[in-house]
Amino acid sequence: MALIDVKELSFGYDNVEIIKKLSFKVDEGDYLCVIGENGVGKSTLIKVLLGLKKPYSGTIEFGDGLKPHETGYLAQQTLVQKDFPATVREIVLSGCQGFLGKGFFYRAEHKKLAEENMKRMNIYELADKSYRELSGGQQQRVLFARCLCATKKLIVLDEPSASLDHETTKEMYSIIRKLNHEGTAIVMISHDIETALAESKHVLMLNDHENFYGTVSEYKEWKGGNI
């Protein structure tokens, strides 16, 4: 059983179906890159996977102990976040939000989980610093640590390198690689096809007329025959 099993999924926006009958899987410890032209529906796919948007038809099955809403989501930084007055600790802890259930306050185990993940991302010494005083790379680490509080199994990233400089981008890819080696499955939307192919295990290419899903070498083969 895969973490996520997508079958015959059709979705779009404004009542226009942009992707028809898409099928793919994300296994435990997988690293899937989603590529394709701008506006082809990559971000919409992520929204559907995360349950932020309803598909028109098809099914998404969660397995291997992954429950819906147990996915860590890392999007591009928003304007609101750039100068947000909150400490690293407060932000990382907010990743435990899904465990609050009907309760109101975080418990000791949540605080411990937040500390563990700050240590894992090497930002523990920044715990009481303000988010807006951090560098871009450090902010990215904070968001990763928050993600890890929400999930151990799967992290979904939407164009994570879009607003980062070269060095920070490199650092981020190495964080993702490390997490993947430690067993977290990754689903990443990327513009940077070269890096995507170098880093990932599976590729999902969205296209107006034909989607592709397979391993990296299968993709290269398929692409070679298509040029």
| Binding residues vs other proteins (CB under 8 A) | 50-52, 68-69, 71, 73, 75, 78-81, 84-87, 90-91, 94-95, 97-98, 100, 104-106, 128-130, 133, 146, 150, 156
Question: What kind and span of H or E run contains 31?
Answer: strand 31-36
Q: How far is the CB of 75 from other proteins (least distance, A)?
A: 6
- DSSP label at residue 30: -
Closer by beta carbon to other proteins, 156 or else 203? 156
What is the chain's alpha carbon radius of gyration, rounded to the nearest angstrom? Answer: 18
CB of 73 to other proteins, least distance (A): 4
State which residue, 97 or 122, has the beta carbon closest to other proteins: 97
Using CA atoms, how far residue 21 sits from 9, 25, 47, 54, 99, in Å, is 5, 14, 17, 14, 34
Beta-carbon contacts of residue 208 (< 8 Å; ≥ 6 apart): 40
Give min distance, CB of 166 to other proteins, in A: 26
Output 42 or 146, the one with its CB closest to other proteins.
146
Tell me how far, at minimum, the Cβ of 184 lies from other proteins, in Å. Answer: 16
Whichever of 50 and 193 has its CB closer to other proteins, that residue is: 50
Going by their DSSP bridges, the two strands 57-62 and 4-13 should be labelled as antiparallel
C-beta of 65 vs 68, nearer to other proteins: 68
Between 39 and 68, CB nearer to other proteins: 68
CB of 137: closest distance to other proteins in angstroms? 19
Output 173-177 pairs: Cβ under 8 A, ≥24 positions apart: 173/199, 175/121, 175/140, 175/141, 175/144
d(CA 134, CA 165): 15
Residue 99 Cβ vs other proteins, minimum distance, rounded to whole Å: 9
Alpha-carbon span 101 to 98, nearest angstrom: 7
